[in-house]
Structure 1
Amino acid sequence: MRFVEARLARLRQVLSRYVDSGALPGVVAAVSRGGETHVEVIGAQSFDGPPMRRDSIFRIASMTKPITAAAALVLVEECALRLDDPVDPLLPELADRRVLTRLDGPLTETVPAHRPITPRDLLTFRFGLGYVPGEPPIFQAMAEAGLAPGPGNPALPVAEWMRRLGELPLAHQPGEQWLYHTGSDVLGVLIARAADQPFPEFLRERIFEPLGMRDTGFHVPADQAHRVAASYLAGPTGEPVLRDDPRTAPPAFPAGGSGLVSTADDYLAFYRMLLNGGRVGADRILSRAAVELMRTDHLTEQQKRRAGPVLDEGMGWAFGHAVITDRAGMPTPGTQTWSGGLGTTAFADPAEDLAGVLLTQRAMDSRTNPAYLQDFTTTTYQSLT
């Protein structure tokens, strides 16, 4: 046994409280250790809706980012991309960048970039644009251009999105500062151009099909729409408000930062692959060296201090997701983890050979993880033998 059965029952007990109280319509939680997997299915797909299913489909928002990073590393291993080469030949919109002289200054006060942007800059969110705390003029300009980070897929076509991004100066010099999110969206475009293949097709052929992730993608076929869990925001007084976010057709911009839908078993397969050193069965998705890059903190201490409220204390940033650097909580150092702003989280702990996925329908409405995400991690770790 990899789990203590009596203590594992606490996982359902604790998560059921949030459904019984009306805080959440439902939950799917999956934990896996070694060859043993345990799944809890609680509540409904929507308030007053059909029962939740083990294969219910959720919008996983920023949990898209680790998958995009893994896809980029597939191309690095094939030498279609190189981590420290300029992206200019494939992303000419980002060539010859200008950089703001000061973050709070006008967009016209710029200097030339010290060097070109590289795939490593995109993977580590240090290419110069993204979510900027305090929303200075550059972030406001991103929002006005339809480029602000957010869950789901942008409404703009890829070419127009890139054109508008290329018209803005960078907030920081390439490699200088960590700014959340936008690097993953650009990375998806880079992957498509490097592979000469639409980004969704590349993910399907190189990641999803080998891992058996049948229900992961950027939209849901019409005959499977009944399996899609609703998505809720917090209203003015905290009440749940249904989001209008249909996933019935392929998006104009398949966002590498936040665009995917998935199921608990699908996402668990992805993190199990990382725990297995890049392998699934007899097949290899990534080399062990690439997996280690996805477990390594690539930020300096100063960059982590300036990362604002997005990275918690004791976290660094690997490729595509956070990595635990200090044992401030349950996960051990080296654990890969990230959450989606629409109410999902996942982690992979190599030291314990443990992976966990929690999918809910309530968007986060604060800078700290909701209590049920923390309780999922706590009840998982307390159940280990």
Structure 2
Amino acid sequence: MSTLREVLETHVRHGSVPGAVGLVARGERIEVAAVGSAFTDGGVPMARDSVFRIASITKPVTAAAAMMLIDDGRMAASDPVGPWLPELAAPMVVRTPQSPVDDVVPAARPITVLDLLTFRAGYGFPSDFSLPALAPLFSELNQGPPEPQAVAAPDEWMAALARVPMLHQPGEAWLYNTCADILGVLIARVSGQPLPEFMAERLFEPLGMTDTGFAVPPDRLDRLTGYYRADAEGALELVDAPDGQWSSPPDFPSGGGGLVSTVDDWFAFARMLLDDGSVGSRSLLTPESVRQMTTDHLTPAQRAASGLFTEGQGWGFGGSVDVETLDPWNVPGRYGWVGGTGTTAHIIPATGTVAVMLSQVAMAGPTPPVLMRDFWRYAASV
């Protein structure tokens, strides 16, 4: 059987990525491989502590932060968000998803915390990216590829969001991404702390996630990898250098995709989930909150209509949950997600497995690249 290093090196050798770092752990067995380079010029070897823009594998971390506030009794999943997010107290919804942005009706009921956690609040990306009401999400809210320095501060961002109609009534349909950013603002307002401070105090410091945050300090920029995109011919173009978008704190800390991290930091987060929310003798989350995070909450019809889930996946809080076995990498109960910057992180509670792979080439769309599939296949086999 191939080793983790051999799996990753195959893709570096073929030129699809300059480098990658992978970690697969089951019980006390931990296998880590760092292959290739941090940049296309090959000058900086990839290392176990290389720092990556982790994009949407930020989402499970944001969901965990929200669950901490629920465990604290400061909000409940059933609570309407209006008291903390007055911008969304009386939202409007397009009459049909295909309607123009000015053909709207009032929301049939308030948006709840649960709607945000399950991505069913009515805001976000459907499978049809041509719908008229989607345009403001990209033009006014910068809900496209991560560009942290281009997004307005939370209050201004929420004011803009309030002018955008929802695509669906609350609870009706699963839509991607935007709910995680709204959830980040909600966490800050409920806690009375900026999102980076809350996450640092409640998650990163207790878990020893020393390299995780919304920006990279100057003394660690030498460990931040380049971020690339493949052009039409497959050549890699630099999108962001270490002194770029993540070299200073953003005005809007994105709960949907703003974090940088390392494989060991995300591994620490994953182990906490596998240990029912505990690290050592300290409980960060209740077992029930972890169970809610890692349980599929979608109806079969919502899964079928999601457009992004074609391989037997549902959705928990902040991440997908495998509900069918369609391929070697589909393991019922597997929880986690992928990031558009070339990252993937999952846990398999039934086997106590953690699988984290960080690379630095943007995904071309919602379909995971071959590198991720090969990594998942390997992680499911060990």
Q: Secondary structure at the match of 1:215?
A: coil
* Residue 142 of structure 1: how far off its partner (Å): 2.0
* Distance in 2 between residues matched to 1:85 and 1:240, nearest whole Å: 46
Query: What amino acid maps onto 1:367 in structure 2?
Result: P
Q: Secondary structure at the match of 1:186?
A: helix
* Distance in 2 between residues matched to 1:276 and 1:152, nearest whole Å: 34
1:320 corresponds in structure 2 to 318
TM-score, normalised to structure 2's length?
0.96
What are the equivalent positions in structure 2 for 1:361-372 lying under 5 Å apart?
A: 361-372=360-371
The correspondence for 1:141, drawn from 136, 148, 172, is: 136
What are the equivalent positions in structure 2 for 1:234-383 lying under 5 Å apart?
A: 234-244=230-240, 245-308=244-307, 310-330=308-328, 331-382=330-381
Structure 1 residue 21 corresponds to structure 2 residue 14: yes
Is the Cα contact below 8 Å between 2:147 and 2:245 reproduced in 1?
A: no
1:88 corresponds in structure 2 to 82
Q: Secondary structure at the match of 1:243?
A: strand
* Distance in 1 between residues matched to 2:13 and 2:230, nearest whole Å: 18
* Distance in 2 between residues matched to 1:117 and 1:222, nearest whole Å: 40
Is the Cα contact below 8 Å between 1:60 and 1:258 reproduced in 2?
A: yes
1:168 corresponds in structure 2 to 164
* Distance in 2 between residues matched to 1:205 and 1:370, nearest whole Å: 35
* Residue 329 of structure 1: how far off its partner (Å): 2.4
1:4 corresponds in structure 2 to none
* Distance in 1 between residues matched to 2:245 and 2:163, nearest whole Å: 30
1:203 corresponds in structure 2 to 199
Query: What amino acid maps onto 1:319 in structure 2?
Result: F
* Residue 14 of structure 1: how far off its partner (Å): 2.0
Structure 1 residue 98 corresponds to structure 2 residue 92: yes
Q: Secondary structure at the match of 2:130?
A: coil
The correspondence for 1:177, drawn from 149, 166, 173, is: 173
Is the Cα contact below 8 Å between 1:364 and 1:370 reproduced in 2?
A: yes
Q: Secondary structure at the match of 1:106?
A: coil
* Distance in 2 between residues matched to 1:282 and 1:149, nearest whole Å: 40
Is the Cα contact below 8 Å between 1:84 and 1:118 reproduced in 2?
A: yes
Q: Sequence identity of aligned pairs in percent? A: 45
CA deviations over 1:240-273 (Å, ceiling 9, x no partner): 1100343111001000000000000000111111
* Residue 27 of structure 1: how far off its partner (Å): 1.0
* Distance in 2 between residues matched to 1:279 and 1:329, nearest whole Å: 32
Is the Cα contact below 8 Å between 2:8 and 2:375 reproduced in 1?
A: yes
* Residue 366 of structure 1: how far off its partner (Å): 3.1
Q: Secondary structure at the match of 2:3?
A: helix
* Distance in 2 between residues matched to 1:87 and 1:147, nearest whole Å: 22
Structure 1 residue 117 corresponds to structure 2 residue 134: no
- Alpha-carbon RMSD across the aligned residues, in angstroms, is 1.2
* Residue 75 of structure 1: how far off its partner (Å): 0.1
Q: Secondary structure at the match of 2:101?
A: coil
* Distance in 1 between residues matched to 2:301 and 2:151, nearest whole Å: 35
* Distance in 1 between residues matched to 2:147 and 2:66, nearest whole Å: 20
Structure 1 residue 62 corresponds to structure 2 residue 56: yes
* Residue 151 of structure 1: how far off its partner (Å): 2.5
Q: Which runs of 5+ in 2 are unaligned?
A: none
* Distance in 1 between residues matched to 2:207 and 2:310, nearest whole Å: 30
* Distance in 2 between residues matched to 1:14 and 1:313, nearest whole Å: 22
Is the Cα contact below 8 Å between 1:127 and 1:174 reproduced in 2?
A: yes
Q: Out of 102-111 and 344-353, give the one that drifted further.
A: 102-111
TM-score, normalised to structure 1's length?
0.95
* Residue 152 of structure 1: how far off its partner (Å): 4.4
* Residue 145 of structure 1: how far off its partner (Å): 1.3
* Distance in 2 between residues matched to 1:134 and 1:50, nearest whole Å: 38
Is the Cα contact below 8 Å between 1:61 and 1:152 reproduced in 2?
A: no
Is the Cα contact below 8 Å between 1:149 and 1:181 reproduced in 2?
A: no
* Distance in 1 between residues matched to 2:89 and 2:380, nearest whole Å: 47
CA deviations over 1:272-294 (Å, ceiling 9, x no partner): 11111111111111111001001
* Distance in 2 between residues matched to 1:177 and 1:131, nearest whole Å: 11
* Residue 224 of structure 1: how far off its partner (Å): 0.6
